[in-house]
Structure 1
Amino acid sequence: FGSMEKSEPLDFLIEELSSENAQQCVTCISRLRVIALALGQAKTRSDLIPYLTHEIEQDKFTDEVQVSIAEVLGSFVEFVGGVADAHCLFPPLVALCSVEESTVRDQAVASINQVGKQLSNAQVQGHLVPTVLKLARTSDWFTPRVSACGLFALAYKASVDGVNDTAQGKELSETFCKSLGIDDSPMVRRAAAIRLSELAKELSAALIEEDLLPLHRTLLADEQESVRVNALRGCASVCSRISAPTQRELLEKDFKKCVQDKSWRVRIACAEVISDVAKVCSGSPECASSLQGLYESLQLDHEPEVRVAAALKAAGVAESLGAEFSKDTIFPVVSGLARDPNAASRVELATVLMNLAKPIGKEAALTLLLPVIPLLTEDENTNVRLAVINCFDSFIGVVGLSEEREQESLLRLIKSLASDKNWRVRHAILLLLPVLAQELGLDGFAKHLGQSLETHATDHYALIREDFVKRMAMVSYIPGFGASWLETNVVKILIARAKDKNYQMRSVLLLGVEHLHAALSQEVMANDLIPLAVEMATDKVPNLRIQAVRSLAAAAPSMPEHLNNTVILPKLRDQTEDEDMDVKFFAEEALSALG
């Protein structure tokens, strides 16, 4: 390092990084790519990278600077000569893998993986695998071994010869599973548990059975709570790689012990992963039966946090374990918890409850779920009500609106909510209109919701008025509706607003011009809407004149050339002389955009 040639860019870097101001050093590192470009690829490899490695090993940088170095080097391949020379980035990153600060190590591991994924298998085998094994076998401090855990999946993947394990691949598997996974340090075991799912996706079936599965079982029974929790998070990945009989054995022996663990955090982890585990294992009737018992235990846990965690995964579990179990066991518990005193829990649980419609099926959804929905929409917490309303489209997708009983109860509720005092609730119902139009068809939509259109159009919240017009455009594109429906049912509402005393209501017509011009016929636009918009361009309220300018400019590309030349463009030119500076600005901008 001491014999390194002098170069101005590197001298600048050294001087900047010698500052005691940490932020100055971080800023300097953010310019590392510029410095590398100035140095050239050869000098970056021979001078810059060794300098950084040396300084890291000498502990010259603060944690903040080290994180920045690790992050920048992850996307530094092109500055060292491309993929062929990218392995030269490993030494400084490996040095960062040994530091005490976990955020630095995590970023270094992420960057090594980022670089490593671009390399050939031969490069990984020659440059990364020996480094990974060296880190894994460093005994003087635990941090290198923790970092090594995050590199095994990449290293192993490059060490496989087709479908056959190589000696190097077996060595990697054995080192991870029979050394790091049973390390004396709980931090290393925890890191192995965290990374176990990554390795499970890569290992051969033979090594899963021989090495990884025994380790997984060991970690699930580890004396450290955090190790057990993280091992559980890899359970679905491991189950996806083993046979159904082995899955059942793992569930009934090891997973069951975790469900009964004295630590509530471990039991919560079981609840959080059981949906993913069920998705993988439920193909076997025996496994499905085991999972039903395990999930029921979590539902009835004495800790409310565990019960809620299990309930939050109810929809996923129900999808995997069948309609009967969902109706008889899952639904009653979740519907009870949806009245939890904690508002945040009620929001999530209400969503889960609505999402049970699909797994329990149409008839059960109508019998069990439909009577509960009105109670949920009366919740004192607006977020709970919104959570339920936001699930209406998926619920309607399951039960439909073709039969009278769905129409009577659900549509009555929707019409009631459309006039709710809370604007967020009214807005959420408005957003449903295209879904309802699709389900009800032209006649049904007119019968049940036709009267509500004007209510939405004249709402005192601007967002609702604007989104009403946008949603009407969407409805017009649904088969059976079209421009003629829009002209008959919506245009008259817009025109009626044009003479309203309240300028905000007058603006509804302009919103129609802006958002419906493509959906309406040119004849209706030219005869009914454009003249009113032109008239509003001289309204006494400047904000309305601005909106008129914007609406005319938006509609112009859809209008016939003669209308643009004789009406729209002349009016926009007139507005460039408006007394209000903002009106002039938008008029000039509109003319510029229209060319």
Structure 2
Amino acid sequence: MADAPSANDELYPIAVLIDELKHDDVLLRLNAIHRLSTIALALGPERTREELIPFLDGQTAPYAPPPGQNLTPLAESVEDEDEVLVALSEELGSFIEYVGGPQYGHVLLSPLENLAAIEEPAVRDKAVESLNKICQDLSSQQIEEYFIPLTIRLSKADWFTSKVSGCGLYTAPYKKISPQVQESLRTQFGLLVHDETPMVRRQSATNLSKFIKEMTAPVVIEEMIPLFQHLAQDDQDSVRLLTVEILIAIAEVVPKDQQSSHSVLLTSLRSLIEDKSWRVRYMIADRFEKIAKAVDDETVSRDLIPAFVKLLKDNEAEVRTAIAGQIPGFCSLVDRDTLLKDIMSSVEDLVSDPSQHVRAALGTQISGLAPILGKQETIDHLLPMFLQMLKDEFPE
């Protein structure tokens, strides 16, 4: 009769995996990270919480491996291997079942908080993604006790890398917390919007459009429009270009019949359309149909139709290419007479645009105007354009 397996036999594969986690070979370490669930299953939920997670967190763990094995914090062995840390960040995002279910999900936050503060963006991004994934399974009490303090710590850290990660952790918990905590989160996010570091302001702008979608219209009007206005006036065009999505998010939340009373929105829209940076104008051009659908009809006729024509004539080919891609979508939102009278001549001019990329963008979109114009106008306006494009020196 075979002897019953000893405790050492049961722990042997765990010891091998732990050795691999500390190995010089990156591929072995990567392989070990992807097999962390094997360790967790062997240890069981309680020991995973009490021993494996602290080990991954870089703390001194109480786990006593077989003789000859020396357990050291993972952070020491993979300190500079971004590839391994990305894999670890991803694995931890799916680790709730191995620590005993959602009621223990908060124990995973500490190692991910450390990973979210690392210099390499790929590691931080994956850590933030996993933190948000775990947040979906946490209770309101867990979020307020563990997740929100983590978010605030990252947001108040000395290094911009932590603040950048913090910016991405406001949306997921927002609807699961009390109004008082929501208010404190909005206040803290406002500090990130006003941060002195452009990288933090960029990330706050990237996430503000998502954050706004979780809020009620009165909160957006009272608190978020001023934040948008601040970012829209930023001296860095890399920040200003991100405010186009924020403008769309605000316009989608604020009812159209109330938009005209918030003149700062229209003022900011006009400023972005006229921005001196072509990259900002490009973002406006690339999102033009979305903007038009989000604002009221008066803004479309008074501001967006002249802006559309102006962008079709922009000095930068990249801007003209982007706006050419919006032709059918935007033109379907205006009446046919306005299209023929105010827009069509500028569209026709693009057929002979000096940039082949602009002409190519026009070529892929122009057929979408036919249903809007109708049979006769298609023959009068579009057919000559098709014939001219067929003779283009660039066949593509």
Q: Give the TM-score normalised by structure 2.
A: 0.86
SS in 1 for 2:253: coil
CA-CA distance at 1:379 after TM superposition: 4.5
Aligned equivalents of 1:295, 1:305: Cα separation in 2: 15
Structure 1: state its 5+ residue gaps. 161-165, 384-595
Q: 1:51 to 1:336 in 2, by over 3 A?
A: same
Aligned equivalents of 2:74, 2:335: Cα separation in 1: 56
CA-CA distance at 1:339 after TM superposition: 4.2
CA distances 1:320-373 after superposition (whole Å, capped 9, x unpaired): 233333333333333332444554443332121112223444543343223433
Pairing partner for 2:56 from 47, 52, 55: 52
CA distances 1:97-135 after superposition (whole Å, capped 9, x unpaired): 101111111111111112212333333223211211121
Residue in 1 that maps onto 2:213: 201
Residue in 2 that maps onto 1:145: 163
Residue in 2 that maps onto 1:540: none
Assess if the C-alpha contact under 8 Å between 2:115 and 2:124 holds in 1: yes
Assess if the C-alpha contact under 8 Å between 2:143 and 2:173 holds in 1: yes
Q: 1:108 to 1:189 in 2, by over 3 A?
A: same
Residue 25 in structure 1 maps to residue 29 in structure 2: yes
CA-CA distance at 1:204 after TM superposition: 2.2
Pairing partner for 2:99 from 76, 80, 86: 80
Residue in 2 that maps onto 1:305: 318
Pairing partner for 1:94 from 106, 113, 117: 113
Pairing partner for 1:261 from 275, 285, 295: 275
Assess if the C-alpha contact under 8 Å between 2:216 and 2:253 holds in 1: no
Residue in 2 that maps onto 1:180: 192
CA-CA distance at 1:311 after TM superposition: 1.7
Residue 62 in structure 1 maps to residue 75 in structure 2: no
Assess if the C-alpha contact under 8 Å between 1:159 and 1:168 holds in 2: yes
Q: 1:359 to 1:153 in 2, by over 3 A?
A: farther
Aligned equivalents of 2:51, 2:351: Cα separation in 1: 63
User: Which structure is higher in RCO with an 8 Å CA cutoff and minimum separation 6?
Assistant: 2
Per mean C-alpha deviation after superposition, the further-off stretch among 313-322 and 100-109 is: 313-322
Assess if the C-alpha contact under 8 Å between 2:317 and 2:355 holds in 1: no
Q: 1:63 to 1:374 in 2, by over 3 A?
A: same
Per mean C-alpha deviation after superposition, the further-off stretch among 41-50 and 192-201 is: 41-50
Root mean square deviation, CA, Å: 2.4
Pairing partner for 1:129 from 143, 148, 152: 148
Q: Identity over aligned residues, as a percent?
A: 34
Residue in 1 that maps onto 2:3: none
Residue 155 in structure 1 maps to residue 159 in structure 2: no
SS in 2 for 1:240: helix
SS in 2 for 1:320: coil
Residue 235 in structure 1 maps to residue 261 in structure 2: no
Aligned equivalents of 1:287, 1:171: Cα separation in 2: 36
Residue in 2 that maps onto 1:103: 122
CA-CA distance at 1:61 after TM superposition: 4.8
Q: 1:42 to 1:284 in 2, by over 3 A?
A: same
Aligned equivalents of 1:18, 1:175: Cα separation in 2: 39
Aligned equivalents of 1:250, 1:316: Cα separation in 2: 26
CA-CA distance at 1:242 after TM superposition: 2.0
CA-CA distance at 1:228 after TM superposition: 0.6
Per mean C-alpha deviation after superposition, the further-off stretch among 38-47 and 353-362 is: 353-362
Assess if the C-alpha contact under 8 Å between 2:17 and 2:32 holds in 1: yes
Aligned equivalents of 1:189, 1:284: Cα separation in 2: 32
Pairing partner for 1:333 from 346, 349, 360: 346
SS in 2 for 1:373: helix
Pairing partner for 1:42 from 19, 43, 46: 46
Q: Read off the aligned partner of 2:177 and give its amino acid letter.
A: S
Q: Read off the aligned partner of 1:262 and give its amino acid letter.
A: K
Aligned equivalents of 2:366, 2:392: Cα separation in 1: 14
Residue in 2 that maps onto 1:477: none
Assess if the C-alpha contact under 8 Å between 1:323 and 1:361 holds in 2: no
Aligned equivalents of 2:259, 2:135: Cα separation in 1: 34
After TM superposition, the structure 1 = structure 2 runs for residues 454-473 of structure 1, keeping only pairs within 5 Å, are: none
Q: Read off the aligned partner of 2:225 and give its amino acid letter.
A: L
Q: 1:122 to 1:377 in 2, by over 3 A?
A: farther
SS in 2 for 1:118: coil
Assess if the C-alpha contact under 8 Å between 1:278 and 1:288 holds in 2: no
Q: Read off the aligned partner of 1:30 and give its amino acid letter.
A: H
Q: 1:93 to 1:299 in 2, by over 3 A?
A: same
Aligned equivalents of 2:372, 2:133: Cα separation in 1: 40
Aligned equivalents of 1:363, 1:114: Cα separation in 2: 54
Aligned equivalents of 2:376, 2:106: Cα separation in 1: 61
Assess if the C-alpha contact under 8 Å between 1:271 and 1:310 holds in 2: yes
Q: Read off the aligned partner of 1:77 and give its amino acid letter.
A: I
Q: Read off the aligned partner of 1:102 and give its amino acid letter.
A: P
Pairing partner for 1:115 from 128, 131, 134: 134
CA-CA distance at 1:380 after TM superposition: 5.2
Residue in 2 that maps onto 1:190: 202
Q: Read off the aligned partner of 2:243 and give its amino acid letter.
A: A
Q: 1:15 to 1:293 in 2, by over 3 A?
A: same
Q: Which has the larger radius of gyration?
A: 1
Aligned equivalents of 2:80, 2:35: Cα separation in 1: 16
Q: How many residues align?
A: 371
Assess if the C-alpha contact under 8 Å between 1:326 and 1:359 holds in 2: no
Aligned equivalents of 2:305, 2:129: Cα separation in 1: 38
CA distances 1:367-387 after superposition (whole Å, capped 9, x unpaired): 32234334434545554xxxx
Pairing partner for 1:252 from 244, 260, 266: 266
CA distances 1:50-97 after superposition (whole Å, capped 9, x unpaired): 111114665635111111111122222222222222222211111111
Q: 1:182 to 1:360 in 2, by over 3 A?
A: farther
Q: Give the TM-score normalised by structure 1.
A: 0.58
After TM superposition, the structure 1 = structure 2 runs for residues 568-579 of structure 1, keeping only pairs within 5 Å, are: none
Per mean C-alpha deviation after superposition, the further-off stretch among 181-190 and 308-317 is: 308-317
Residue in 2 that maps onto 1:541: none
CA-CA distance at 1:152 after TM superposition: 0.4
Q: 1:115 to 1:369 in 2, by over 3 A?
A: same
Assess if the C-alpha contact under 8 Å between 2:324 and 2:361 holds in 1: no
